[in-house]
Amino acid sequence: MVPNFASRFALAIVSLAISHFVSGRSFQVVAYNVENLFDTDGVSLYDDYKPEFYGPKELQNKLNSIVRSLRLIGGSTGPEVVLLQEIEVDRTPREFPSATELLLNALKKNGLGPYQVAQGYDPKDSPGNWPSVQCVTLSKFPISSTRLHPIRMARPILETTLSVGGVPFTLFNNHWKSGASSKEMESHRLQNAQTLRNRIDEITKRNPFADFLVGGDLNSHYNQSTVYAKDMPKTGINDVLLSHNLEPAGRTIAPKLYNLWHELPHDQRGSDAWRGNWGTLMHLILPQGLYDAKGIRYLTDSFEVSKLKGVNSVSGSELPYKWSNELDGFGASDHFPVLARFETGGPATQGGNSYPEIEQSARKVDYTNAIKSAPNWQPKSLDPANYGVTFRFSGKVSRSNPLTILAGGHQLGLYSFNPAVRRRLFSFRKDSRIAGYGHLSRYRGQWQFIVEDLNWIK
């Protein structure tokens, strides 16, 4: 008989011994949207994860990518605490291992952990109320308690309290409603933010210097209220949650939270990219309690974006190496992990690098290095390892709709998300020659080049 989810979950927790934590030693907290880790039970709410598109090979390659990233970030046994997003909610708990169990097994097999786990949905709830994907928190420290904060028509917020050397540390793992630029979706994120703010206010009313952290994929940029000021007079992250740009100092009691993106100069802020613009959807946001000399404290200037060359970052552009289910599965995620270090004991956190500047608009991806280093495209370049890499191409238009060129005996698509570039591309007639720059991509089983700018067409 295959044990049910509750039994297997209990066995997993009991079997994982928790590593001993020595007071004063620093530890990592990582927030990582893995871009859809699904099991292979064939029951999926996403079409891309039906059996004809996703099977054992794709799953194994996906697990390998996550394991490799976490090992490079946290060393041989991985980070101490990981806030994961986009882990599938299991819909066949009695018949097949879940995505969470598969990940725990892969981590254990490769020497990472051991981890305790908290999941971001209630298995006792009606399956109709389960989200498609959930937040999952992994911890080498004992988990003292967990709590879910439901959001109407959105994923719940996962609250987990750890015991770090006997000191309580509460983590809020978030995956807010997607569509950062959408005014309609911002109405849902306002609910996310208000629910979280209400809970934070409860905690800080009892202890203004409580140790907690807000992390995960908020589907909001650190400067959401300025970038979308015209369409969003009120934003969840800035106006309700009160994420802001000034590092806590002294013992002044204030409700605002410090967004660690402000530890980086503005031209280094970016965990994701969308249609030529950098985004900051991944966050670690801190209260004043992590800057005092009691309990948990933040280690100044330890915030970083984890760009791992050859693993989760595209050569040349340094954009995320997105995951694809094609060709047995390749890539990593469309989000870079973000991380920071903390410790117990020691003096109050001193102010470090702080850049309060707030960009007024979305920052364009700078492709200068990608263009300078762009190799000539060759047939042997059609390799998943080159997905996202910028090439120089040349060929003859073989088809107008969809626009396709013949180069080196291969049919390759041409496309741009920029309307002006798209119009220029589609002005080329069949059998005419076209050359330029494009980064290698795939669409519906075909290789293609994405052209970012008019000056990429030669």
| pLDDT of amino acid 24 | 56
- The mean pLDDT value for 184-192 works out to 97
Residue 18 has pLDDT above 80, yes or no: no
Check residue 346 and give its pLDDT: 85
In a domain, 436, yes or no: yes
Strand 446-450 with 410-415, pairing? parallel
Residue 16 has pLDDT above 90, yes or no: no
330 and 380 both lie in a single domain: no
Handedness of CA 200, 202, 203, 207 (dihedral sign): positive
User: Does the residue 362 lie in any domain?
Assistant: no
Judge if 210 and 311 occupy the same domain: yes
How much of the chain, in percent, has pLDDT values that exceed 90? Answer: 90
Residue 48 has pLDDT above 50, yes or no: yes
- Residue 283 within any structural domain of the chain: yes
Which of these three, 328, 344, 360, is where a domain ends? 344
Domain that holds residue 445: 368-456
- Same structural domain, 400 and 254: no
| In a shared domain, residues 219 and 133 | yes
Over residues 93-152, the pLDDT tens digits come to 888 999 999 999 999 999 999 999 999 999 999 998 999 999 999 999 999 999 999 999
Distance CA 53, CA 325 (A): 7
Place of tokens 């394991």: 67
In a domain, 98, yes or no: yes
Q: Assign residue 435 the CATH number of its domain.
A: 2.40.50.140
Instruction: Verify that 111 and 50 share a domain, yes or no.
Output: yes
Q: Return left, alpha or beta for 201; rule: phi > 0 is left, psi -120 to 50 is alpha, else beta.
A: alpha
Specify if 399 maps to a domain. yes
Q: Is 92 helix (H, G, I), strand (E, B) or coil?
A: coil
Whether pLDDT at 22 is above 50: no
Are 44 and 162 part of one and the same domain? yes
Q: Are 263 and 365 in contact (CB under 8 A)?
A: no
**Residue 443: pLDDT over 80:** yes
Number of folded domains that form the chain:
2
Residue 375 and residue 272 share a domain: no
The CATH number given to whatever domain includes residue 141 is: 3.60.10.10
Domain identity same for 308 and 161: yes
**pLDDT over 70 at 20, yes or no:** no
Assign residue 282 a region (left: φ > 0; alpha: ψ between -120 and 50; beta: otherwise). Answer: beta
Same domain for 393 and 330, yes or no, is no
**Residue 357 belongs to some domain of the structure:** no
Q: Confirm whether pTM is higher than 0.85.
A: yes
Does some domain include residue 360? no
Q: What is the pLDDT of residues 209-224, one digit of tens each?
A: 999 999 999 999 999 9
Q: What would the pLDDT profile of 151-175 be if each residue is shown by its tens digit?
A: 998 999 999 999 999 999 999 999 9
CA 400 vs CA 410, 425, 429, 453: distances in Å = 16, 10, 7, 20
Are residues 162 and 112 both part of a single domain? yes
Backbone angles phi, psi at 281, to 5 degrees: -75, -25
C-alpha closest to that of 132 among 162, 168, 165, 91: 91
Is residue 135 situated within a structural domain?
yes
DSSP string of 106-159? HHHHTT----EEEESS-TTS-GGGS-SEEEEEEESSPEEEEEEEEETTEEEEEE
Which of 387, 284, 383, 371 minimizes the C-alpha distance to 334? Answer: 387
Q: What is the pLDDT of residues 2-13, one digit of tens each?
A: 334 333 433 333
Q: Are residues 235 and 278 in the same domain?
A: yes
